[in-house]
Chains A and B, each alone.
Chain A
Amino acid sequence: MRVTLSVNGKPATIDVEPRRTLADALREDLGLTGTHLGCEHGVCGACTVMLDGLPVRACLVLAVQAEGASLLTVEGLAGEDGALHPLQQSFTEHHALQCGFCTPGMLISALDLLNRIPNPTRAEIRSEMSGNICRCTGYNSITDAILAAARSLTQKD
């Protein structure tokens, strides 16, 4: 089936089987391998992307269901000039990744968190980020990074 959608601001058309998940379509059909697949059944959070401005598990959405949708993946976070998004910058500064596998999902979930709660407490971050699993157990530095990004983003406004 033909699916027309927008990914990181660019139009895209793909031809996929109905059973193709959005995550596989992003990786295999569009070559956007920044979206990672861990568990492939909605538990680990690694494949989290924004669909029409709201976070979704890309493994729990069929590509054919994304007809007409506007997606944001980790590849779309940095600026046109390659400048890192404040969250990405903060993740690097606070050592919020070790192997990096969970990071794309962490960044998108963190972006959703800051969209909803611009000034989160540590407890709110721990609770809101509990849907993203990091097997390097770097949760403290991830929390530090999100907290610092929240501060820098709200100071700019």
Chain B
Amino acid sequence: MKPAPFDYVVAASPREAVQYLADVEDASAKIIAGGQSLMPLLALRLARPSLLVDINRIPGLETIERISETTIRIGTLVRHRMLCAQTNSPLLHEAARWIGHSAIRTRGTIGGSLAHADPAAELPIVAVATGMVIEVMGPSTQRTVDAQDFFIGTLENSLADDEMIVSVISPLPERWGFAEYTRRHGDFGLVTVAAAEVQGEVKIAVGGVGSKPVRMLESEGLVNDSVTLSGQLIDQAARAAAASVEPNGDFHGSARYRIGLVEELVRRSLRQLGSGQADSEVDWS
């Protein structure tokens, strides 16, 4: 349970960080930001990088700026704690509240969570539902990737070995809903659903049912083709979502149980999207 040896450097700028990544010949260098996903991988020796590039001291990456009426830019080092505290995006506030525990939210970052690409993590699901655009830098390149294309599979993203996330452009949805079910507060969700309406179009992304956040295209079609979001339509969209997923079962819950959760949580998130009010939260007492 101790990490294997590695070298460690502190980067002063994004360009310097990606240059460090590029200069390692076996391409086994890793960026460390909050470390809340990477450190467990190091401790379990599931990751054995030769070099860790610490980006925590790069100035300017820990800010949220409003870039238009309907979009914000979030620096890669913005901590989950700061997402909880900000008021620009109520959806991100709500989703970040569900991430781990206070001590995890102190350090965990939005860039780290997206890059880690855990299919059950909250922020990738919100990124896909809201259509975030991820701003990426390499030693000689700068590009943007749509969240939809960023996630490839379980813990797999579309970054090259010498690229890092610098920031994220996050559309502010007109209406949204978020629903997650966990056995204990702070655990990864068994199923998590984010529904967001951006420029009149509703997208629904579900986590915990595949190797990356999965869009509920049939349910989205039903919602987007209809003028009003009636209870009947919500039920129909929830059933369509449940019929479209093929989750694996594990000791946390069977496949059938997760399908049931998808139906109920899509229903709750669409109700919240329609009414602006969350269903009452689970009483943990």
Identify the A interface with B (CB < 8 A). Answer: 1, 17-19, 21, 24, 39-42, 45, 48, 51, 54-57, 59-62, 64-65, 109, 112-113, 116, 121-123, 126-128, 130-131
Task: Tell me whether B54 and A131 are in contact (CB under 8 A).
Answer: no
Known: A41-B43, A131-B103. A61 touches B35 (CB 8 A): yes
Residues A60 and B56 in contact, CB atoms below 8 Å apart: no
CB distance from B252 to the nearest CB of A (A): 14
Contact A131 B186 (CB under 8 A): yes
A109 adjacent to B103 (CB under 8 Å): yes
Tell me how far the C-beta of A15 lies from the nearest C-beta in chain B, rounded to whole angstroms.
14
Known A18-B6, A42-B39, A45-B101; judge A54-B81 contact (CB<8 A): yes
User: Once bound together, how far apart are the Cα atoms of A56 and B39, in whole Å?
Assistant: 13
A55 near B106: Cβ-Cβ < 8 Å: yes
A41-B103 in contact (CB<8A): no
Contact check, A127 vs B185: say whether CB atoms are below 8 A apart: yes
Please classify how large the interface on chain B is, using the bins under 10, 10 to 19, 20 to 34, 35 or more: 20 to 34
Contact indicator A45/B35 (Cβ below 8 Å)? no
Contact B101 A131 (CB under 8 A): yes
Task: Say if the beta carbon of B227 comes within 8 Å of chain A.
Answer: no
When chains A and B are docked, how far (Å) is the Cα of A54 from the Cα of B7?
Answer: 27
CA–CA, A62 and B16, complex, Å? 21
Selected contact of A57 from candidates B1, B5, B103, B185, CB within 8 Å? B103
**Contact across chains for A41 and B40 when beta carbons are under 8 A apart:** yes
Chain B 31-59: CB-based contact to A (< 8 A → 1; otherwise 0)? 01001100110111000000010101000
